[in-house]
């Protein structure tokens, strides 16, 4: 039986402001889904709600992992269960080295029942795996000795997120604008790396404004978000249309969602 991340009629608010207005989405392990939409349409909100960010209040609907209610778990529980999110703007953790962070995180994901103080992955095994993944991503091993995202450039932060993805090997990965702020060569490397890491063992939701990240990660489904709802689903050709032509056709085709988008923008401007 295929493993599934299922979102049903999801409503999410931030500081009392409703952002998501009934999102339905099913991702099977091994599938690639692209999520596109104008700024402020709710794309990142969906990712943060799935991951369990405490600032995002689920006011209705459900998120299920293989039939289990994810909403009953905190972010740590969701991570250990195999849900991963690469953030658009990752947090810096001064004083914590990348290697130490990854060793603890990898241990906890592979052994979800591990208690604090119990043995970590053996150092020799961990170093071998980390070196292999860094070679695959063309990263200098010195990178592992730096503090997590502390003083990193935008490109280094994104590569650090992809390294985490490679080491943790989650069941489901949400990539929130991993291509944002990267030059052409860096986007190409990110696209190739995600394709090599993913495969049949990972369900991936790629949140993006562009189509470059999708060149090596052809989506099985492309979803368009407008006004806090998924209004249209297609294949990779839909992603190419949106990148080339923008969202005028979408706004015209879905006037209610366009009106909700406009209302959300007006509230933000006040």
pLDDT band with cut points at 50, 70 and 90 for residue 265: low
**For position 200, what pLDDT does the model report?**
77
Average pLDDT, the chain: 89
Dihedral Cα 53, 56, 61, 64, nearest 10 deg: 0
Q: What is the pLDDT of residues 180-212, one digit of tens each?
A: 767 777 778 788 888 888 777 899 999 987 777
Q: What is the pLDDT of residues 157-169, one digit of tens each?
A: 888 888 999 999 9
Rounded alpha-carbon distances, angstroms, from residue 185 to 87, 110, 204, 267: 20, 33, 22, 38
Specify the 3-state DSSP secondary structure of 38.
coil
Average of per-residue pLDDT across 83-109? 91
pLDDT band with cut points at 50, 70 and 90 for residue 2: confident
- Confirm if 103 and 97 have CB atoms less than 8 A apart: no
Q: What span, in angstroms and rounded, lies between the C-alpha atoms of 183 and 205?
A: 22
**For position 183, what pLDDT does the model report?**
74
Task: For the domain covering 4-269, report its CATH number.
Answer: 3.40.50.300
Q: Which residues of 210-243 are buried (b: 16+ CB within 10 A; e: fewer)?
A: bbebbeebebebbbbbbbbbbbbebebebbebbe
CA atoms within 13 A on the CB side of 50: 32
Q: What span, in angstroms and rounded, lies between the C-alpha atoms of 124 and 127?
A: 5
Cα 124 to chain center, whole Å?
A: 30
Q: What is the pLDDT of residues 40-70, one digit of tens each?
A: 899 999 999 999 999 999 999 999 999 999 9
Longest Cα–Cα distance of the chain, Å, equals 58
Residue 98, exposed/middle/buried by CB under 10 A (0-12, 13-18, 19+)?
Answer: buried
Instruction: Please state the pTM of the whole predicted model.
Output: 0.90
């Amino acid at each position: 039986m295929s493993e599934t991340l299922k979102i049903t009629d999801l409503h999410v608010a931030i500081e009392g402001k409703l952002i998501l207005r009934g999102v339905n989405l099913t991702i099977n392990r091994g599938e690639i889904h692209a999520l596109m939409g104008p700024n402020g349409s709710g794309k990142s909100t969906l990712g943060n709600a799935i991951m369990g960010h405490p600032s995002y209040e689920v006011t209705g609907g459900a998120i299920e992992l293989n039939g289990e209610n994810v909403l009953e778990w905190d972010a740590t529980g969701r991570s250990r269960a195999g849900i991963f999110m690469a953030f658009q703007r990752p947090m810096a953790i001064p004083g914590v080295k990348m290697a130490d962070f990854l060793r603890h995180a990898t241990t906890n994901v592979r052994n979800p029942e591990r208690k604090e103080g119990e043995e970590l992955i053996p150092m020799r095994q961990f170093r071998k795996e980390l070196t292999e993944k860094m070679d695959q991503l063309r990263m200098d091993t010195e990178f592992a000795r730096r503090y997590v995202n502390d003083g990193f450039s935008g490109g280094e932060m994104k590569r650090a997120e992809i390294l985490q993805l490679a080491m943790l090997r989650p069941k489901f990965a949400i990539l929130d604008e991993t291509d944002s702020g990267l030059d052409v060569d860096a986007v190409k490397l990110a696209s190739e790396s995600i394709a090599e890491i993913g495969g049949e063992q990972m369900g991936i939701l790629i949140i993006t404004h562009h189509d470059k990240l999708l060149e090596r990660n052809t989506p099985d489904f492309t979803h368009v978000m407008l006004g806090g709802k998924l209004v249209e689903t297609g294949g990779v050709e839909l992603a190419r249309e949106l990148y080339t032509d923008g969202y005028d056709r979408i706004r015209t085709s879905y006037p209610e969602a366009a009106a909700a988008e406009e209302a959300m923008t007006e509230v933000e401007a006040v």
